[in-house]
Structure formats: structure tokens, C-alpha cells
A and B are shown apart, each in its own frame.
Chain A
Amino acid sequence: MSFASLPAEIGLGFKPQHFSDIAAAPAAVGFFEVHAENYFGAGGVPHRQLAALRRDYALSLHGVGLSIGGETRLDGHHLAALKALCARYEPESFSEHLAWASHNETYFNDLLPLPLNEATLKRVAAHVDELQAALQCRVLIENPASYLSFSDGTIAEPQFLAELAARTGCGRLLDINNVYVSAVNLGFDPKTYLDAFPLQWIGEIHLAGHSDATDAEGRTLLIDTHGAPIADPVFALYQWVLARTGPRPSLIERDNDVPAWPALVDEAAKAGEILEAARKAQSHQAA
């Protein structure tokens, strides 16, 4: 299957508790995104809701458990389930993470870090090839939020992702909150990272909130919680990115402390202003 692309508008992560609000009045969002694994069940309410959303909105399926960075083989059942889900809902986009989540039989339900080096690149590229062959489409791969680095990491993340795209033809999901969180945690300049990131290949942007903590050594540590509104520095980076890329499909993720629907709509409107300003600037340039 070959996917159409997501509209260059603001999208929201779908939470079942918001379904009746969304059904009651059309949402001013360009698309919805769901975690693919939440729809691995056979039927019932989840599929009823997803089918209804699919009828009215563009859809992004976001995988969180395939473990593309895993040292062990991709799980054949998982791949088959993703393939069936894509066939059933024909999403505009499928994305996964530069991370691992399982080892042998154990699934950790978390996005775990990888040392970025040639061995990892070879393995991840092979898994992305396998995923794209199974889904018969180009997938987007998301940059992770990092809390630590590895002594055997030899390739910078933007270069790693550029090389992964060159080898597999995959697209990029740029999570700006993750860039900011990693930049603070690992001590680099987010704009230097973004300058090295091939921005033209971005199929989707993610925006989310993080929380502030302190590590054992007393250093500031940001945690990618998806549990708070988008922070101002992340909005500023978003504006900075869009000034270079023009409008892109932009998703607001909120998975914890999920507020009532109107609060998410307000946040979407706030991000939407930045997106529209970028659209105007672009058409201005073109004219």
C-alpha cells in the first residue's frame, strides 16, 4: 500500500475519553494520531472509535513497540498486526522510533536508548527495510528523547538519521520536544542539531510537554513525559524549524495527565498560529 501524506496542519493524539467531544462537534484539527498497538485487539469500542475517526479525519498510525533498534529479530506477529492495521485503516502515515523496546521474549513498554554507531546503523537499516517491505510504504522514523549517552556511540544523531534515510528511503519524524530534552540532558545546542538535520525530509513534526527534574549529580534533567503543555522553548524551536521548512504536519502529543478536550483544542490553536504564520511567510516568499 502506498500512503497519501498527512495534511500540513495541526494534529492531535487521540484519547478515547475525548471521543464523545469529537463526535459532538467537528474538531478543528487536520489529523489524528493513534498508537498502533492500542488497536491490536480484534474489535469492540477501540475499533469502532478508530473507524469513526478515520471516516472524518486524516490518520497517522504511530508504532511504539516494534523495537526497530533491537538486537533481536523483529517480531513477525507484531509486523503482521501492523500490516493488518494499515490495510484496515489506510492511514496517511506510519511512524516508529529510533529505539528498542524488547529483548528476547521481554517487552519493556519504554523507548530505550541506542549507541549510535555503524553496527547499530546496519541493524536499524535492516529492520526499517523489513518494516517498509511488510507495509509496502515509506515509514517515518522519530528521533528519541535521550537521558544518557554511550561510550561506544560514534555517530551524531542527525547524521545517523540522515544516513538511515539514505540507506532505506525512510522519512523523518522530527520530535522537537525530544530534540530540546536531549539537548538539555546531553548538553548540546538544539539549533546546531537542527542545522545538521536534513529538514527537507520531515514528514511530520511532534510537539509535546516535558517535566523538569534533577539527576543524582544535581544537573537539570528533562523527562519526556507527554504530561504537560508544550514548553515555550519548544514552541520557539518549532517556529524556527517552520521558518526553514514551511508548514508541516504537526502533532501535539499528550499521553499523561490528559486534560479535557477544550484545553487540547486551545493548545492546537496556539500551535496553529505558528503554522499559519509559516504558511503566510512561505506564500509571501513565493509571491
Chain B
Amino acid sequence: MSQAQFAAALLDPDLAAPATVSAGHRSRFAIYRNNVAVSLIEALATRFPAVRRVVGEEFFAEAARLFVARHPPTSRRIAIYGEDFADFLERLPACAEIPYLGDLARLEAARTHAYHAADAAPLGPETLAVLSAESLADLRVTLHPAVAIIVSAHPIVTIWAMNTGEQPFANIDDWRDQAALISRPAIDVEVRILPPGGAAFLTALARATPLAEAAETAQLSAADFDLTLNLAALFSAGLVSHMSMPPEGTIR
């Protein structure tokens, strides 16, 4: 038997079962085809419950079936299957009327990564007290391994919260862009809305940009960026696992 032939027929119902399947059992090849599809659709349904809620079970299953056929897993970590599901949904013509669907999928995918991210003890709010104003400007931080940011042109955190039961359903009167912060300061994964400029600030910090420079970048992205608030949040929300400063006397 060639597994290449078996493998191809698993994903393509138009291909016949491999010739070496016993004559009396050829119809049963469909069981494997079905098992593969069902288990992978289930994996996506588990990872993307809010997307499922938004589009409905039937549509989700159909979209997932298409995705599975075109993008079967390449990783054996089935918990993170669907890394490109967001992009796929955005390209799906039937999803065009739900412009936020891709970002919603990105947020859910980021939550899975945060759930499985490496453990690290976050630096607490007391950290700020020991830093002098001068040293603060040069401060470089390492964000906690679970931290992720999803920037959206839609109120993505509110939509996610309403479709996962975190928040009751209501009309979203104030439909505006939101940047989602995903983190895991203790055990549970948290999702919250970043304040103006917060996404630019954290993204810059993630690249090991010194704090003062990151604040300038944030200021450019949002005129109402509040450094004090964002700086406090870094440590009160457990977003930083390490920090470093250039040794004294270093010429910048």
C-alpha cells in the first residue's frame, strides 16, 4: 500500500480508496475519511467558540470542513490547529458581511497560545517604586510569554466577550476600534481592552525598545496616550517578566 495514496484520498472524497484495501471493505474507507474530518472540525470548534457562535453551528462546520480540506494540520499539537483560520475566514466570500470575523478568530487563536505559554513570574506593582526617574527612560522589559496584542478596526474585545458569555449581549452603540490585550498574569488567560496608544507602546517594548522611546512611539500613534496609566498597567497586570537597564556610565 502506498500511504501517499491513502493520505490523498483521506482529504479528497473524489479520490477512490487505495486499491490494496480488501474488495469487501472498500466502502469502509469512508470511516477514516470521516474520522479525520470530524476530529479536525472539532479541534477548530474547540479553539474558536466565539467564531462558531457568531456564524452558527452549521456554517461553522461547513467553513471548517473547507479549511480542513485545504489546510490540513502540519503540527501534531492539535490544540493549536488553525493558525491560519483567521486569514482563511477573511478570504471566504460568504464571510464578507462579517468584517470582524478574522480578528475575532485571531483573538481566540492568541488565547490558546497564552493558555499554553511558558510559565514566568510577572514583576509586580512594587517594581516601579525602586526605579528612579532617570533609569526609567532607559528601561527595557521582556514581556511575559503569554502576552499578545490583537489590533482591530472593530470592537473586538466586546464582541468576543458577548459571544463567550463573559458579557451579556447588547447592542454595541459605540462601535469603535479596539486593541485586545491577552495575558496570563496568574493561572487564567485574561482579555482586556488596551487604552489609546497601549498597543503601540507594548509592541515597541516587545522589540526591546527603551521605555522613553516606546512612549514616544505610542504618543505618535495616539495623541491621548497616557504614560503613567500604561506604565502602571505593565506591572499591575503582570505583563513584564524581566527588565534590564544599561549599566551606569554606558553612553547611549
Contact = CB atoms under 8 A, between A and B. Distances in A.
Interface of A: 37-38, 40-48, 65-66, 70-72, 75, 78, 100-110, 112-115, 147-152, 185, 215-217, 221, 223
Given A70-B3, A108-B36, A43 B116 contact: yes
Interface stretch (B72-80, B94-102, B229-237): B72-80
Interface size class, chain B: 35 or more
Interface string B21-35: 111111111111001
A148 B25 contact: yes
Given A106-B72, A108-B36, A149 B78 contact: no
B224 interface: no
B35 A107 contact: no
Contacts of A46: 116
B116 to A, nearest CB: 3
A103 to B, nearest CB: 4
A179 to B, nearest CB: 18
B43 interface: yes
A27 B5 CA distance: 46
Q: Which 9 A-B pairs have the closest CB atoms?
A: A41-B116, A148-B25, A43-B119, A216-B27, A42-B118, A65-B76, A103-B7, A148-B28, A43-B118
Nearest to B76: A65
Interface of B: 1-4, 6-7, 10-11, 19-32, 35-36, 39-40, 43, 72-79, 81, 114-120, 145-146, 184, 187
Nearest to A256: B42
A75 to B, nearest CB: 7
B72 A108 contact: yes
Nearest to B31: A147
Nearest to A72: B3
- Specify the main secondary structure of chain B where it touches its partner: helix
Contacts of B25: 147-149
Given A42-B117, A45-B115, 17 more contacts: A41-B77, A41-B79, A41-B116, A42-B116, A44-B117, A44-B184, A65-B76, A72-B3, A103-B4, A107-B73, A107-B74, A108-B36, A109-B43, A148-B28, A148-B29, A150-B22, A185-B28
A152 to B, nearest CB: 5
B73 A106 contact: yes
A217 B27 contact: yes
Contacts of B77: 37, 40-41
A114 B6 CA distance: 10
Contact of B35 (A40, A110, A150): A110
Nearest to B187: A45
25 contacts: A37-B78, A40-B76, A42-B145, A43-B116, A43-B118, A44-B114, A44-B117, A44-B119, A44-B187, A65-B76, A70-B3, A71-B2, A75-B76, A101-B76, A106-B73, A106-B74, A107-B78, A109-B78, A147-B25, A147-B28, A147-B32, A148-B25, A148-B26, A150-B21, A216-B30
Contact of A149 (B22, B81, B116): B22
A110 B79 contact: no
Contacts of B1: 114-115, 150, 152
A108 B10 contact: yes
Contacts of B79: 38, 41
Contacts of B23: 151
Contacts of A104: 4, 7
